[in-house]
Structure 1
């Protein structure tokens, strides 16, 4: 191969790519041109490395490619207008697409939790391995109610938000292994059921519901969603479907799971605020539960009604905008 002729024939494209890379703003046509030139220059570099490894030419072209790559990455910066689209279209559509998983899991867990609470209430002797008599007395006497007001509301809201976000993230991340999700759910289900069983068994069932329902409806729903999405990811590599490989199915479900995880962050913040401000407030129990129920129903409407509408309109897949060209 005649190196000089090859370089001379293509140097104009490389220079043009470098010129475009130096510009702060590009039109749509110029951005497309930059991507095309980057792809072609990468191919040229590959050819030169195989056939004529001249270090000077390779270094110069590599520098120009790095400038082009940096310019392409620079165009992937954060866009504020993507936030409304995410929360009005992408996030609810993803929730709606996974609705069968989290609704089914939520119903099953609620049945299991209610059954376990009833069993502990009916057979209090099973509490012996978990709580001492003094701990039961303290729990009924004020520890349960005092838990919600022992810290300043803003600090407690942040703590609750963090704990629930970590639990939800753990469920999503561990979903590919499946079994850890059931362990995480089981531990939390057992803790809630033990508390409920103790309080119901000592005539404080109303207190239990009053201090759990205002925030628990939304909070537990978020946990159910996180766990269901994690299990959905795990199921993707077990049963990917007839038209996808296991890798494709796992990638699709994992991308969906990450979108839902991001969307749940502000929802869990709302749940944390309810637990810190509404649950221990001086409002009548019916008002506290009613307000919590209204917020919960609003979220369900957001996930199911707005999600169905968003899915019907079609949610654009913008992932290609954030990937480098393949060469």
Structure 2
């Protein structure tokens, strides 16, 4: 195709579309002309891209079409409205739709942790397999408590590490096994540590230092695991949708979940950095941790339930996600 000839033939239409898109007011006839020219120029752009993809011309036509699209559809809603919608609709809906998965993962991991802790606490060979007796004394009497060093730097390190674990649990969901492995390792590690503390009669210290931040922190890890396993289950059973469509929708919802977990883990990091290692009464620390956890689940069930009943899933809106091909069956 001769680009110069094509431009000479259609340049007047492109200029006219640009002019109409730039006007502040349009009457009825001009509005109709704007829509007609938009459709025509969109066809021109498609032709150029397929027959003679000239970068300069493609850029020119794309710019004209973007201006016309904005004029036809109206200006985009303010960014703050999108943020609010994400916070009160999309995110809680994404958490709400995997709530039962989250509760099941939580129960399973707690069971694994309790069994691992009881085994280590009651079996000297298993206890010594964790670390030598001398190292156990140092860990129980000093290292465990001194780890919780109050401050923003410590909170940042904790948040980074936990966000990484949560992201691995979610992303590994495509394999199924990887997510289960992450959950298993974390449950066994925490349970075994508690078992070692119990063997040295320091279970109360373990619980009072874990509970303030751990209630929300571990919940976030369990929710991340649930999200990953939900993705794997969608791969196995996509339901009435095509597998590719179901996986795409689930993957987009998982991105929403990951963002929300990053925020929740930041909150638990602040609790760990400023509450767990502080001089507050132990019962006050646990109350703060319980309040934070209760606020999380209230957010999920109240806002998430309402958003889900209104049709939200945590996925992008239809016009943002793109059209899907309709198939029979």
TM-score relative to the length of structure 2: 0.83
Q: Where does residue 327 of structure 2 map in the other structure? A: none
Instruction: Describe the shift of the 1:323–1:33 C-alpha distance in structure 2 as closer, same or farther (beyond 3 A).
Output: farther
- List runs of 5+ in structure 2 lacking aligned partners: 325-329
Q: How far off its partner does 1:69 sit? A: 5.9
Instruction: Describe the shift of the 1:77–1:143 C-alpha distance in structure 2 as closer, same or farther (beyond 3 A).
Output: farther
- Aligned ranges for residues 59-98 of structure 1 at < 5 Å? 61-68=57-64, 71=67, 79-98=79-98
1:45–1:62: 8 Å Cα contact kept in structure 2?
A: yes
Instruction: Describe the shift of the 1:32–1:273 C-alpha distance in structure 2 as closer, same or farther (beyond 3 A).
Output: farther
Equivalent-residue separation in structure 2 for 1:143 and 1:25 (angstroms): 69
Equivalent-residue separation in structure 1 for 2:249 and 2:321 (angstroms): 15
Tell whether 2:186 aligns with 1:188: yes
Please give the root-mean-square deviation of Cα atoms over the aligned residues, in Å.
3.7
Equivalent-residue separation in structure 1 for 2:136 and 2:32 (angstroms): 68
Number of residue pairs matched?
A: 316
Q: What do the CA deviations read for 1:257-279 (whole angstroms, capped 9, x no partner)?
A: 00111112221111001111111
1:80 match: secondary structure: helix
Q: How far off its partner does 1:321 sit? A: 4.9
Q: How far off its partner does 1:247 sit? A: 0.4
1:81 match: secondary structure: helix
- Aligned ranges for residues 90-239 of structure 1 at < 5 Å? 90-149=90-149, 152-239=150-237
Q: How far off its partner does 1:65 sit? A: 1.9
Q: How far off its partner does 1:24 sit? A: 11
Equivalent-residue separation in structure 1 for 2:33 and 2:121 (angstroms): 71
Q: How far off its partner does 1:307 sit? A: 1.1
2:113–2:192: 8 Å Cα contact kept in structure 1?
A: no
Q: Where does residue 41 of structure 1 map in the other structure? A: 41
Q: 2:307 aligns with which of 303, 306, 310?
A: 310
Q: Which runs of 4+ in 1 moved over 6 A?
A: 3-9, 24-27, 29-36, 48-51, 75-78, 323-326
Equivalent-residue separation in structure 2 for 1:267 and 1:155 (angstroms): 18
Instruction: Describe the shift of the 1:78–1:24 C-alpha distance in structure 2 as closer, same or farther (beyond 3 A).
Output: farther
Q: How far off its partner does 1:44 sit? A: 2.8
Instruction: Describe the shift of the 1:35–1:311 C-alpha distance in structure 2 as closer, same or farther (beyond 3 A).
Output: farther
Q: What do the CA deviations read for 1:182-239 (whole angstroms, capped 9, x no partner)?
A: 2212222222112101101110010000000000000000011111101111111111
Q: How far off its partner does 1:290 sit? A: 1.4
2:41–2:65: 8 Å Cα contact kept in structure 1?
A: no
Instruction: Describe the shift of the 1:83–1:50 C-alpha distance in structure 2 as closer, same or farther (beyond 3 A).
Output: closer
Tell whether 2:278 aligns with 1:281: yes
- List runs of 5+ in structure 1 lacking aligned partners: none
Q: How far off its partner does 1:70 sit? A: 5.8
Instruction: Describe the shift of the 1:284–1:62 C-alpha distance in structure 2 as closer, same or farther (beyond 3 A).
Output: closer
Equivalent-residue separation in structure 2 for 1:213 and 1:202 (angstroms): 19
1:34–1:68: 8 Å Cα contact kept in structure 2?
A: no
Instruction: Describe the shift of the 1:245–1:66 C-alpha distance in structure 2 as closer, same or farther (beyond 3 A).
Output: same
1:315 match: secondary structure: coil
1:233–1:254: 8 Å Cα contact kept in structure 2?
A: yes
Q: How far off its partner does 1:46 sit? A: 4.4
Equivalent-residue separation in structure 2 for 1:35 and 1:297 (angstroms): 52
Q: How far off its partner does 1:284 sit? A: 1.7
Equivalent-residue separation in structure 2 for 1:256 and 1:32 (angstroms): 38
Q: How far off its partner does 1:39 sit? A: 5.5
